[in-house]
Amino acid sequence: MKERETASDLDIRSIDPTLYNDDLAPIKPEKRSWGAFEIFNVWSNDIQSLFGYTLAASLFLTYGLNGWAVMAAIILAGVIVMFLVNLTGKPSVKYGIPFPVMVRASLGVRGANLPAMLRAIVGIFWYGVQTYFASTAVTLMITAFFGAGSGNTFLGLSGVAWVSFVIVWLFQIAIFWQGIERIKHFLNWAGPLVYVVMLVLMGVVWYQAGDELLPAVGTIFSGSGESGGGVAAFFAIVGTMIAYFAAVVINFGDFTRFVKTERQMKLGNLLGLPLNVAFFSFIALIITAGTLVLFGEALTNPADIVERVDSLPLTIVAALTFFAATVGINLVANFIPPAYDLANLFPSKISFKLGGLITAIIAFFVGALWVSVISQIGVPGFVNALGAIVAPFYGIIVVDYYLIKRQHLNMQELFSSKPGGAYYYTSGWNPRALIAFAVAAVFSLSTVLVPALSALGGYGWLIGAGLGGLLYFGLMRKR
């Protein structure tokens, strides 16, 4: 029997309704509207957040390397991530399926819920946290206009902070409730806008610093890391940057399923990763050097810089930009993945919209309790551990698709739970994949929890992914 490999070949009459809904179904090529620009903006919104800027700026100051070495490490990380996401994005371009459906081929039609739910938990948690951080930008703007209010707080948040938090929470719901096209339009608007404002901020800082700016940049670029420590620091930067993007790497198919061609995906990844990361890091470098001249210390938080500049127009524009940037990364890394993952859990009952609403409701309590409770009790460490655990699934998915399945999937079987089906394995679970995951996850988790292995923390995701793929390949070859 000929394999059903495209969306148009899918026979709706013979699918399992517990595995299918319209949001999980393959998207036909003629219904896709994303190109290189949209993929570029996925990465723009991921990079150009407050945390992304702070990370890029701090890398030039933390490791004792000269600026050229830091820039080379950042670009290398961008190239590696580009290679990784080209691998995970390609099957979803070909078949039009999201991550939780793609992973059925390796984990089984039921086993796919394991990586999907682990990824959903991580996404929902950080969705709540990022919603809180986006609300701080709104708080900054409201305070600039109306003052800080009475100063009374509830759960660590002032009245203005609570209003800001609810505004951001509702704003994000309003965007996703209008569908993926509205999310696309927001990302396409937010990404370029952040770049414009960061360039303006760089220009303001450069103008105020005057002739002293370039010597300050020179001091950063003249730092030296000797051979041994320098090599270790170089690869530590590479590992840190790769870990920053890890949340999107595994489920990149959630975005590429909307892309018209593989060529468009690769072009968007090229522009959005090594080139974008390098340019944005350069902006961060110039601004950081400027703060060293202007304020006598290197500031790596854009909010601190705006506060020091003390300009109401700049505060307003910056607050809007920080808000847009943080909401952008929230939608990319923390909303779309759990929305699909929850829909995959009960497809007949949970749609993409309902999955997103569940994500938003749970995340509301995470964000509301962030200051007073969650940030104080070590929960982020627990969630980071879950993120490390997910790493082996990357290796399993890639090895399965390229080496085991030889880039051919049967779409009909991905939505079938009939015993003996191509992806049914044992009661819908692939025991070999579970063994490979469990062994590799122990290592990934140990880089987070075991102090003696903390030096590997930056490389833990890559090694865990590689180990998971290697073990899976060995076990599946024994069949």
Note the helical H segments in 369-410.
Answer: 379-399
Run of H or E residues at 157? strand 157-158
The pair of structure tokens assigned to 242 is 């790769």
Provide the mean pLDDT of the chain. Answer: 85
Share of the chain above pLDDT 90, in %: 38
Poorest-confidence range of 203-217, 254-268, 297-311, 344-358? 297-311
Calculate mean pLDDT across residues 414-423: 92
Run of H or E residues at 153? strand 153-154
Please tell me which residue, 471 or 14, carries the higher pLDDT value.
Answer: 471
Closest alpha carbon to 326 in 438, 427, 162, 186? 186
Q: What is the pLDDT of residue 81?
A: 94
Residue 111 has pLDDT above 90, yes or no: yes
Residue 14 has pLDDT above 80, yes or no: no
pLDDT digits (tens, 9 = 90+) for 159-172: 888 999 999 999 99
Q: What is the pLDDT of residue 2?
A: 43
Please tell me which residue, 187 or 448, carries the higher pLDDT value.
Answer: 187
Q: 225 pLDDT band (50/70/90 cuts)?
A: very low
Contact (Cβ atoms closer than 8 angstroms) between residue 247 and residue 387: yes
User: Is 461 strand, coil or helix?
Assistant: helix
pLDDT digits (tens, 9 = 90+) for 360-370: 999 999 989 88
Torsion angle defined by CA atoms of residues 441, 443, 444 and 446, in that order, rounded to the nearest 10 degrees? 120
pLDDT digits (tens, 9 = 90+) for 328-365: 888 888 888 999 999 999 998 999 999 999 999 999 99
Residue 284 has pLDDT above 80, yes or no: yes
Residue 48 has pLDDT above 90, yes or no: no
Run of H or E residues at 430? none
The residue whose two tokens read 């600026």 is: 67
User: Taking the domains of the chain in order of start, what are their residue ranges?
Assistant: 21-477
Distance CA 281, CA 69 (A): 13
Residue 398 has pLDDT above 50, yes or no: yes
Distance CA 396, CA 272 (A): 26
Calculate mean pLDDT across residues 276-305: 82
Q: What is the pLDDT of residue 313?
A: 76
Poorest-confidence range of 242-251, 274-283, 390-399? 242-251
Instruction: Tell me how many helices (H) and strands (E) the chain has.
Output: 21, 2
- Is the four-CA dihedral 428, 430, 434, 435 of positive or negative sign? positive
Distance CA 121, CA 220 (A): 39
Residues 6 or more apart from 310 whose CB is under 8 A from it?
A: none
pLDDT digits (tens, 9 = 90+) for 53-98: 778 888 887 777 777 888 899 999 999 999 999 999 999 999 999 9
Q: Which of the listed CATH numbers 2.40.100.10, 1.10.4160.10, 1.10.287.10, 3.20.20.30 matches domain 21-477? A: 1.10.4160.10
The pair of structure tokens assigned to 358 is 């569940």
pLDDT digits (tens, 9 = 90+) for 170-186: 999 999 888 888 888 88
Q: 4 pLDDT band (50/70/90 cuts)?
A: very low
Share of the chain above pLDDT 70, in %: 91
Run of H or E residues at 158? strand 157-158
Whole-structure pTM value: 0.87
What is the DSSP annotation of 79-131? HHHHHHHHHHHHHHHHH---HHHHTHHHH-TTTTHHHHHHHHHHHHHHHHHHH
Note the helical H segments in 296-351.
Answer: 302-309, 312-329, 336-345
Q: What is the pLDDT of residue 384?
A: 61
Phi/psi for 346 (5° steps) reads -135, 75
Poorest-confidence range of 94-108, 240-254, 281-295, 376-390? 376-390
The pair of structure tokens assigned to 392 is 């082996």
The pair of structure tokens assigned to 323 is 């808000």
pLDDT digits (tens, 9 = 90+) for 376-394: 766 556 656 666 788 899 9
Q: 196 pLDDT band (50/70/90 cuts)?
A: confident
Q: What is the pLDDT of residue 80?
A: 94
Q: What is the pLDDT of residue 1?
A: 38
